[in-house]
Amino acid sequence: MELARIEELIATHRDGLLKDTVPFWLRHGLDGECGGLLNYLAADGSVLHTDKAVWVQSRFAWLTALLYSEVEQRGEWLDASRSCIEFLERHCFDTDGRMFFEVTRDGRPLRKRRYLFTETFGAIAFSEYARATGDRQRLERAKDLYRLIICYYQNPGLLPPKVFPQTRQMKSHAMPMILLATTQQLRRNGDDPLYERTIQDSLTQVFEHFMRPDLEALLENVGPNGEMLEGPEGRVITPGHAIETSWFIMEEGRHRGDRGLIEKACTILDWSLKWGWDRQFGGILYYVDVEGKPPEQYEHDMKLWWPHTEALYATLLAHHLTGEKRYEEWYERIHEWSYERFPDREHGEWFKYLHRDGTLSSTAKGTRWAGPFHLPRMQLYCWKLLEEMKQSAG
């Protein structure tokens, strides 16, 4: 990549992060009254709903603590992180040690889900807050949560199953993917044999059970030993997920200095871009059927913000690690498509949901699922990576 372009992109991502995304959420989201973050926001930042998604509390605690450690020790960032952490501690844990999924503005529990994702985001929140502050109690809390997740993961009978397991056993790519990412985060506070084992298990699962060289696809759901399942659940690819996994694995390769791991990750990225890129309208499809049959999700052909932010970082990282021109071209293609459509030129931040043809489906800036995570993480990670690239280029 040309030095001038690198410098231009550094400005785009750094300023997008520090002058747009983070201020938008600090200004409109932070709840001065009850603590934590109001996450259901309209285009102009006004509140659409005061219920609080616990994922989002944790993800914002993580982001602001990370900014404090990696960018600058700004008090407002640490205050925001602490507000979310304290809200989580006060209101978001059930008596079984698991976390609620959604609570009221003042922290009364509304929903709890069978999935463990809430706990994984809780673990990275406490871990990153501990790293920013040196708070050993919060670090222990992160590790407790992590061990709880592993315990449930290893003993699936502890959770009520979605599908009767005596009839059909299936597993989702989302679990090894999120365990890999969660473990990588916790490892920043010091390694542990459990981390190594979990990462190795996740990589084995992805490579041996979810990656299908015969289909050139990473499947979202398979049987317990990687068997292809019949029907739309068995045939579905989630390109955004697979692309996210690819850069988690590239980071693992970088961490270990393992070229083979980076190559495998790039294979996943190549496959997923091929499946996900919409040749008719551009952008990345949400779900694709590996046999070209109609996926069952209503939203299958919508263009959501997060597969695009994940693809931006994945392609930039792949370009940096391999030097391959085609990843730079992919980066630029996705950048152009995304920056033409997602940013809100009037109120800042990005819109989250577009129709297949790129027109706006919803004006919301935040929902139960969409909070300050994928966009600012991409902006921070791309910025920092571009700084590395500038060093090498300069």
Beta carbon nearer to a copy of itself, 11 or 110 = 110
Beta carbon nearer to a copy of itself, 255 or 293 = 293
CB of 375: closest distance to a copy of itself in angstroms? 18
Read off the tokens for 317: 């990282």
Beta carbon nearer to a copy of itself, 70 or 223 = 223
CB of 286: closest distance to a copy of itself in angstroms? 9
Length of the chain: 394
Under the rule (CB under 8 A), what is the footprint of a copy of itself? Answer: 40, 42, 48-51, 103-104, 108-112, 162-164, 166-168, 230-232, 293-296, 298-302, 353, 355-357, 361-364, 367-368
Beta carbon nearer to a copy of itself, 301 or 310 = 301
Beta carbon nearer to a copy of itself, 106 or 201 = 106
Task: List own/partner pairs for 198-206 with CB under 8 A and 24 or more apart.
Answer: 198/150, 199/252, 201/176, 202/176, 202/177, 203/176, 203/249, 203/252, 203/261, 205/171, 205/175, 205/176, 206/173, 206/176, 206/177, 206/180, 206/245, 206/249, 206/268
Angle formed at CA 62 by CA 219 and CA 312, multiple of 5 degrees? 45
CB of 156: closest distance to a copy of itself in angstroms? 16
CB of 91: closest distance to a copy of itself in angstroms? 11
CB of 344: closest distance to a copy of itself in angstroms? 13
Beta carbon nearer to a copy of itself, 176 or 282 = 282
Read off the tokens for 43: 């285009």
CB of 206: closest distance to a copy of itself in angstroms? 25
Distance separating alpha carbons of residues 210 and 66, to the nearest angstrom: 31
Amino acid type, 217: A
Strands 47-49 and 40-41: antiparallel
Beta carbon nearer to a copy of itself, 51 or 76 = 51
Angle formed at CA 385 by CA 376 and CA 29, multiple of 5 degrees? 10
CB of 170: closest distance to a copy of itself in angstroms? 10
